[in-house]
Amino acid sequence: MSTRSTISKKAAITDPEVRRKRMTVPACSARKGGEPLVCLTSYTAHVAHICDSVCDLLLVGDSLGMVIHGMPNTLGVTLEHMIMHGQAVVRGADKALVVVDMPFGSFEESPEIAFRNAARVVKETGCHAVKLEGGVEMAPTIRHLTRRGIPVMAHIGLMPQAMNTAGGFRAVRDEAEFERVVADGRAVEEAGAFSVVVEGVAPALAERLTRELAIPTIGIGASAACDGQILVFEDMVGLMPRVPTFVKRYGTMEEMMRAAVEQYAEEVASRRFPGEEHTYKPKS
Ligand code: KIV
């Protein structure tokens, strides 16, 4: 573990004036086997600003379809959604590496179409890398993007965009499936991905991927064996009513927001808000 970055991160928590240098793609890859990479999703400038001082990487995940837009899954998310939220997050973060997800339908057809859409994301948001779901079958696309200047974070294991072919959100727990996921990991690494999200896999598989791959593994529902962790911000702060079992809630935001809204409604109804102190005094 690097003492220098631990000290600076602790200092950043207590003293927002302490600034770290902007995380880069090579610096992220270099954390393989070292100090765990701290990652969260962000979809807005405000949340990005809150997370920026302590997170190494902020992901504008296509989970925003469910979390922000109330969709049933990620399949309806468009490139325009990702660009709009990507722009907001880039405005709110000046230290973390910002990665934007490629939504379903924007990269699968061909490496050329993937490049056109990923280049649009990079140009219009100012993000530093894109993420895309897929293993062996997406390796040619990852190679095409990385050789043309677009860093790629891969995503293997449980892939939410494949929910229809997989028959739902299914964690990889069956040992018979391990070889397929390891082959996916090797393929995305060989194609040039700088890191890989490993979602919903048994600890033994996460350990094996982390041991055998030379790029950092970023786990979500994949045990502490990974080189870093990522959670959806709204899940982690307790803003979502239902969360998967692998989520630890570090806050109770939904209760706090509900209580604030109820108190406001009650004070408006009883004319206790606005009080004297919340009104403009006449100019004399
Ligand atoms: O879309 C997303 O938020 C993600 C993370 C959960 C890894 O892909």
pLDDT surpassing 60 at residue 249: yes
For 56-93, write each residue's pLDDT tens digit.
999 999 999 999 999 999 999 999 999 999 999 999 99
Band (284; pLDDT cuts 50, 70, 90)? confident
Alpha helices (runs of H) in the chain, residue ranges in sequence order: 3-14, 25-29, 45-52, 64-67, 79-92, 111-125, 139-146, 163-166, 178-191, 203-212, 233-236, 253-269
Give the Å distance between the CA of 277 and the centre of ligand 1.
43
Q: Record the pTM.
A: 0.93
| Residue with CA nearest ligand 1 atom 3 | 61
- Mean of the per-residue pLDDT values of the chain: 94
pLDDT surpassing 70 at residue 2: no
Active site residue 17: no
Which is catalytic among the residues 35, 175, 190, 199? 199
Q: Residue 15 has what pLDDT? A: 56
Which tokens belong to 284? 């004399």
Q: Residue 154 has what pLDDT? A: 98
196 and 153 in contact (C-beta within 8 Å)? yes
Give the Å distance between the CA of 62 and the centre of ligand 1.
6
Which tokens belong to 220? 């979500």
